[in-house]
Amino acid sequence: MHTYAAAGTGFLLAVLWFDAMFDAQTPQHTGGPLPAEVLTLISASRP
């Protein structure tokens, strides 16, 4: 049971990390599509 809890916790932390990285890179771009350089940075940060 502890293995499943650890795996679930790790997955949740990974999702929160990617959300934080997205939020950190996009606050100044509101109301439209993101520029290509921002999208490139976001997609490059994947493991």
The tokens of 30 are what? 């509101």
C-alpha triplet 9, 11, 23: angle, nearest 5°: 110
Q: What is the pLDDT of residue 41?
A: 77
Residue-wise pLDDT for 7-47, tens only, equals 999 999 999 998 888 788 777 777 778 888 878 877 776 55
Task: Please tell me the predicted confidence (pLDDT) of residue 23.
Answer: 80
